[in-house]
Structures are given as structure tokens and as C-alpha cells.
Structure 1
Amino acid sequence: MPSDHSAETASANTNLRIIAIVSSTFVSMLCIGMTLTVLPPWMHGALGFDAVTVGAVISLQFVATLLSRPFSSQMADRLGAKRVVLLGMMGCALNGALILLAALCVQWPVLSLLILILSRLALGISQGMIGTGSLSWGIGLVGPTLMSKVISWNGIAGFGALAIGAPLGAVLAQNLGVISVGLFIVLIGALALALAWRRPASPIVSGKRVPFARVFRVVAPYGGALALSSVGYGVIATFITLYYAEQQWDHAAWGLSAFGMAFITARVLFAGTVNRFGGYRVTLVCFTVELAGLLALWQASHPGVALLGAVLAGLGVSLIYPALGVVAVAKIAATSRSAALGAYSVFLDAAVGLTGPLAGFIANRAGYSSIFLFAALCSLAGFGLCAALYTISIKRRARAEREARLDSEVRAEAL
């Protein structure tokens, strides 16, 4: 009994350490969720910009994250993940201050737009630092054996914040204006910075660092599948509010929240399936579910159908990142773990960053519903890529087993 109690206590302490670290991701994604709900309709309505401009500006966040990943991940390996997360929190607060300033300049639309561009860049760079830094920080504190747990819980924190941030941002903007959204982000960013400052740092793994280009090549096949799955997230995050407006449906924020809540539910209920069934099998099922959700959004004639589509898309996307991520990161030495996480995440950033302007271009010519068909086709392509990778993996494993068996037989004959 005492040993059982000690094990339970140790497990509880480990869980608390993970929660404390991934709370940084919660704050950064809360800010993202608020801005994704508030800024697109505000830029379109109050500032008067079209869908392509809105999509491009919103997507700048993801482009900035993409470009900052190599630097921030290598900095985390060399200087420590905690320092990178702290810098990210500062950038998050700066983003809020710039949104506040842009709202004060609403009577000068071009100036306001330029300030919003700076805010998206600040938020994107900070997300690159916090996203990779939090994962590396958490894995460093609890050990690589719990990597899948850290990745899953980090995702839960992120999309939980996304689900909360969407309606919270809408409520603040509707009742107190966009200025209140910027002020809230400044305050919560400063609070998160103060709390993260007090937490213990993870040890820096000594040894030779793997060049980022080599790390990138190793994780690229898994990242490619991740990118194709992320197009659905990109179109939902950027355009679902405008899609609802085009259809003259109310409560657009709940579509984004439904996506986030479905994501969390799948992570909580099915996180163990990655270890039980393997990353490839889980990913293939997830692609199938995501495809169904995106097709439902494309053909939705009622907000209830669109909400169901958002739920299915969230369920589908949920486990693809950890399922393929654990496999990809395990192929890289621990000295370059942050670089592996950053390289893998680059594909997510690239997909979402390119999705905004491309989907906006499609929406201007064929309507907002058409962008969900585009995302569905990408999901189908991702399914095909994952199936091909799975087939290659099976063949390689079978060949390795045959070679090991033959080697064993040769040794037995020699004896």
C-alpha cells in the first residue's frame, strides 16, 4: 500500500509539472482564439478590407511562426526552453498592446492595418517560441518516456484556450470594443510571464547538435502529412466567422469553439490509442473523420450541420500531431529535441500560413463554402501520403525482421 501511495503521489506531481508548463501554451492560444474571432470581421466591417487582405493579415501570424521556428527551437536547445518561453510571453503582451493601438486608429484604416500587421508578426513569433519551448521544457522536466503525454496535454491546453478564447473575444468586442481585447491580452500575457518566471528550468542536454537541415529532412515525411491535415484547421480558424456571415447564421464563434472542444475531447478520451494501435493507424482514422467533417461544412445548409462538421473536423485533427510527432522526434538525438519539435511544427505553420491567402482567393471567386471542399481534398491527399508511409514502414520492419532472423540463424550454425 505505501508503494502504491508513493506511485500515485509521484504521478500526481508529474501531472502538475506538465500542467504548469503547458499553461504557457494555454495563454498564447487564448490570445490567438480571441484575435481569430474578433479581427477578421472587424477588419472587414470597420476597416473595409476584402477577404484576401483579411486572410493575408491573419495568416501573417502563422508565417511569422513558421520563419521563427528554426531559430527559436535551436535557441531552446542551446540556452534552455524556459528562456525561450519567457521571451514568447513578452511578445504575446506586445501583440495585445498593438491591437489596442490599432483600435484607437480605426479612423485611419491603412495605419490601423499596418499596426495589425505588426501585431500579427509579434504574436506569430511569440507562438513559435512558446509552442516549441513549452514542449521541450515539459519533456525535459518529466522525461522523454512521457513525450506523448506532454504533446497531448499541450494540445489540450492550446485548443481548450482556443475554444474559450473565441467566445470570450466576441463578448469583449461586442460589449466593450476591440480596445478591451487588446487590453485583456496585455494583462494576461504579463501575468503568464510572471508565473512562468518562477517555475524551474529543464536541464540543457549536452552533446553535439544535429544540423537543422538534417533534422528537417528526417521529419519531413511526417510533417508533410501533418501539413495536409492542418489545412482544415486553417480554413476553420480564419474563415468560419465570415462563412457564417455569408450564410446569415448567428453565433459564428461557437463553430470555432466546437472545433476546439471536439479536439480536446478526443485528446482526453483517445490519447492512449497512439501507444496501443500505433501512430500510422491512428492517423489514418483521424484523416477519415476530418474529411467527413470538412465535407459536411462544404455542403451545410443549416448551422447545425456546420456545427457537426466543425466537431468532426476537430475530432479528426486532434491526434494527428502527437501520433506522427512522437515517431518523428524519436528519430532525432535528445540534444536536438527542440529542433525536431520545431522542424515538425514548421509544416503546421506553413500549411496554415499559406491556407489563409489561398483560401481567401478561392472564397472571393466561389464563395466561402468552397474553401471547405479545398480543405477536404487536402485531407484526402494526407490520407494517401500517410497510407504510403505506413506501407513503407511495414516493409522496412519486415525486412529488418528477416535480416535479424537470418543473422540469428547464421550465428546458431557457427556455434
Structure 2
Amino acid sequence: MRVPVRRLWVAVLCGYLAFGAALQVLPTYVPGKFGGGALVSGTAIGIAFLATACGRPFAGWLADAGWSPPVVVTGGVLAAVGGLGQLLAPSLPVLLFARLVMGAGEAALFSAALPWVLSGTRTAQRGRLAGWFGLSMWGGLAAGPVLATLLTKATDSATAVVWWAVVLLCLASVVLVLTTRGEPGRVVGRIVRVRELVPVGVPLPGAIIGLAAYCYGTVAALLVLRLRAAHLHVDGFALSVFAGAFLLLRFAGSPLVDRYGGRVVAVVTIAVEIAALVGIALADGPGQAIVATAFAGFGMALIYPACVSLTLDRVRGLRPGVSMGVMTSFWDLGVMVAGPLGGLIAERAGFRTAFLVAAGAGLACIGVLLRMPRRARSPR
């Protein structure tokens, strides 16, 4: 049975456009409605990634066993409920709970759709297809802030319109999956046991993408606040610049992973990210800030396909749903930590220090890359 790859790609894109749009409005929505500073805002952003990190391996586990459609539909419904909860939340704890619900939905949406797609693909082509399909998630995260910015400029009741757009996008992903014909095949020949949810070969690529995620999480949670605090007057479109640079290089540069290998691409792109984070930290003019932000987008663009290549190579293509779910969970954990920790550092030591700490995480990422063996040790 042919797998509806394009329809699933659009379904995941809709869900992550909603997730990305929420990231744009939360840094001002949370303090404006409930009070607090960078720590509260960063926690609200980061807590969703806790649920996403916990949910991905189980979503991949169920999907590998042939349960992709109901898991993907459940993900879209949870994301819609979480978006509505953030709009209607009467208190900060309720908003944080809604963020957890939305994070769980986003985990199920992507991590069950990817094995569905891979079930109709030959093993030799899974790395490239996984990287391309991942663009639905990363494209949504990158373009979602752009969508939110356009909506806020076009309407008076800006925040409410963005949140309703979040809900409708998630429901659109549900409709796309419910109207999909056919059933997914199984990617593996047996159901993976719970104790096998972390395949050998995944933790090191996971550590790499987790450290890179701390860099991204710092940008997502603190960039708008850092630029606003410095009165550089570019905070309204800086995340859009980041998204544009990210999407440009992701579209044009993905074949570089196949040509040069995941390790080389990851080292180069993380080096660019380190320089960009230092540039954001030290920028004292709008031009410098925007250039550094654009390079931060370039630096994040290829880290996911690079880590997909590293992971599938080390696990030799086995159990891709679980492997990709666990590897991507490290990303979620990195973003989750970056929100509150970066916010705390910003409040205690300033925004510049927070971005320099993120650059240090990038250096640690390169260290792991350079020391990682090319092949994982086989379990005894």
C-alpha cells in the first residue's frame, strides 16, 4: 500500500506551524497576562518540550508496531486542546498544563508520522527521506513565528487571533490524517519491548542534538527579550529573520549531508552557530543583531538531518521509529532546559551571559562530535 507521504508532510507542517506560532507570542503573552520576567517566560516555553521529550519514544514505539494513524490523530487533537487551553488559561499553572498537553500532542504527531512514512521506504533511502520529512517539523517551527508576526500586524486583537490560528492549524492536521486512505506497514518485524526504548547507538547523536538544542532554545526563549531590552528595535521581526535563514539553508543544503556525511556537516554548522550566539551576545546595533540572528538560523538548519544520518548509520537502519523518537527527544530536552535555565541566567547575570553560555553548549557539542566513534558497539 502506497504511503501518503505528501499528505502526512502537510499534516505535520500544520501542527508545527501552530507550535512555532506559539513560541513567537509566549515571550510577551505570559508576562503580559500573568506577570513575571524572563524566567517565567522561559519556563512556559520550555515546559512543553518536557512532554514532547517523554512522548516521542512511546509514539515511535507504537508506530513501529503499525499504530501510526490513531497516534498521529491523537497528537493533532492534543495539540489543538493545548492551544485552546493557552488562550483561555485563567492562571499560570493552567497555562503550563496546557503547554504540556500541546507538547505531548506535537510529540505524537511527528514521531508517529515518521515511521509511517519510513514503512514504505527501502532501508537505503531512509536517511534521506527522514531528513526531508523532518523539514515538515523544522519548517513549521521556523515559519510559525513568521505567521504569528503577520497575524499580529494584520489584526487588532492580535494575541487571540494567533491562538485561534494555532487551534485551527492543529485541527487541520487531524482532518488531513483522518481523510488519508490506507494503513501503514510495520517498520520492524516485532514489537519493541519497553526496556529497548533506547537503542544502542542513539545516545551520542542524541547528546549532540541535545546540546545544539540548548543553543536553539536560548534563541527561541530569549532573543526577543534580549533585543527588546537593548532597545535595538528589531525584536518584532528577528525570529522571522532566523526562520528565513533556517529554511533557506535547509532547502538548499540538505544534500550536503549525503555528500560529506553527518559528522562533517554537524561540526561546520555548529561552529557557525557558536559564532552567531557570540554575535547576538555582543551586538550593540540593529544591523549586527540581525546579521548574527541570520547566521544563528544558518547554524541550526542542518543539525537535524546530520544527526538523522549519524543515528541511522549507528543503528544500521533498525527500528527507525524508536531510534528517531529517542534521538529527537534529546532535542526537546535541550530546548526544555534552555528556557528556564537561560531565563534564570539572564535575570541573574544578563542576556549577554545567557547567550555566551549557549555558545559554550555549542563548543561541548563539537567536542562530542569529534570524539564519537563512527560505529556503535553492538550489545552483548
Shift of 1:142: 3.5
Under a length normalisation based on structure 1, what TM-score does the superposition of the two structures give?
0.83
1:220 corresponds to: 203
Q: What's the CA shift for 1:285?
A: 1.0
Query: What are the residue-to-residue correspondences of 1:119-158 with 2, within 5 Å?
Result: 119-158=98-137
**Aligned equivalents of 1:279 and 1:168: distance in 2?**
31
Matched, 1:69 2:56: yes
Identify the residue that residue 194 of structure 1 maps to in structure 2. Answer: 175
Deviation at 1:362, TM superposition (A): 0.3
For residues 225-264 of structure 1, what are the structure 2 equivalents within 5 Å? 225-264=208-247
Relative to 1, partners in 2 of residues 1:154 and 1:263: Cα closer, same or farther, differing over 3 Å? farther
Which residue number in structure 1 is paired with residue 157 of structure 2?
A: 176
User: Would you say 1:203 and 2:203 are equivalent positions?
Assistant: no
Q: Which one-letter code corresponds to 2:147 in the other structure?
A: L
Partner amino acid for 2:186? I
Higher share in helix: 1
Check the 8 A contact 1:65/1:124 in 2, yes or no: yes
Any stretches of 5+ residues in structure 2 without a counterpart?
Answer: none
Deviates more, 1:219-228 or 1:321-330: 321-330
2: CA distance, partners of 1:263 / 1:88: 25
- Aligned match for 1:320, one of 303, 311, 331: 303
Alpha-carbon distance, 1:299 to partner: 0.8
- Indicate the percent of aligned positions where both proteins have the same amino acid: 29
Equivalent residue number for residue 279 of structure 1: 262
Which of 295, 306, 322 in structure 1 is aligned with 2:278?
295
Q: Distance in 2 between matches of 1:116 and 1:67?
A: 19
Amino acid at match of 1:167: V
Mean Cα deviation higher: 46-55 or 208-217: 208-217
Using the TM superposition, give the Cα deviation of residue 295 of structure 1 relative to its aligned residue in structure 2, in angstroms. Answer: 1.1
Bigger CA radius of gyration: 1
Aligned residue for 1:34? 21
* Local SS of the residue matching 2:170: helix
Assess if the C-alpha contact under 8 Å between 2:77 and 2:105 holds in 1: yes
Query: Matched residues in 2 for 1:318 and 1:379: separation?
Result: 14
Match of 2:91 in 1: 112
Q: Secondary structure at the match of 1:39?
A: helix
Shifted more, 86-95 versus 74-83: the winner is: 74-83
Aligned to 2:363: 380
Is 143-152 or 218-227 further displaced after alignment?
A: 143-152
Instruction: Give the 3 Å change call, closer, same or farther, for CA 32–206 of structure 1 in structure 2.
Output: closer
| C-alpha spacing 1:213/1:305, structure 2 compared with 1 (3 Å) | farther
Letter in 2 for 1:49: G
Please give the secondary structure, in 2, of the residue aligned with 1:141.
Answer: coil
- Among candidates 291, 295, 305, match of residue 308 of structure 1: 291
CA distance in 2, matches of 1:164, 1:198: 25
Give 1:329's aligned residue: 312
Residue 159 of structure 1 corresponds to 138
**1:72 to partner: Cα distance:** 1.6
Structure 1 residue 218: Cα displacement = 2.3
Gaps of 5+ in 1: 1-12, 103-110, 397-415
The alignment partner of 1:293 has SS state of helix
Q: TM-score, normalised by structure 2?
A: 0.90
Select between 69-78 and 167-176 the one with higher mean Cα deviation. Answer: 167-176
Aligned partner letter, 1:304: G
* 3-state SS in 2 of match to 1:250: coil
Summarize the Cα distance change of 1:264–1:168 in structure 2 as closer, same or farther, 3 Å threshold: closer
Cα distance in 1 for partners of 2:82, 2:175 equals 17
What is the distance in 2 between the residues matched to 1:26 and 1:365? 37
Q: Whole-Å Cα distance in 1 between the matches of residues 199 and 252 of structure 2?
A: 31
Q: Secondary structure at the match of 2:187?
A: coil
- CA change 1:261–1:167 in 2 (3 A) is closer
Between the aligned partners of 2:371 and 2:317, the Cα distance in structure 1 is 28
Give the Cα separation in 2 of the matches to 1:277 and 1:213: 34
RMSD: 2.4
Aligned to 1:87: 74
Equivalent-residue separation in structure 1 for 2:119 and 2:245 (angstroms): 29
Q: CA deviation at 1:22?
A: 1.7
Give the match's secondary structure for 2:35: coil
Kept in 1: contact 2:245–2:294 (CA 8 A): yes
Aligned residues of 1:76 and 1:83 also touching (Cα < 8 A): no
Shift of residue 253, structure 1, vs aligned partner: 4.2
Question: Shift of residue 202 of structure 1?
Answer: 2.2
Q: Could you tell me whether the CA contact under 8 Å between 2:80 and 2:168 is conserved in 1? A: yes
In structure 2, relative to structure 1, the CA distance for the partners of 1:63 and 1:279 (3 Å cut) is same
Measure, in 2, the Cα distance between the counterparts of 1:25 and 1:303: 34
How far the C-alpha of 1:57 sits from its partner, in A, is: 1.8
Residue deviations 1:292-343 (CA, integer Å, cap 9, x gap): 1111111111122222222212212222221222231344476622111111
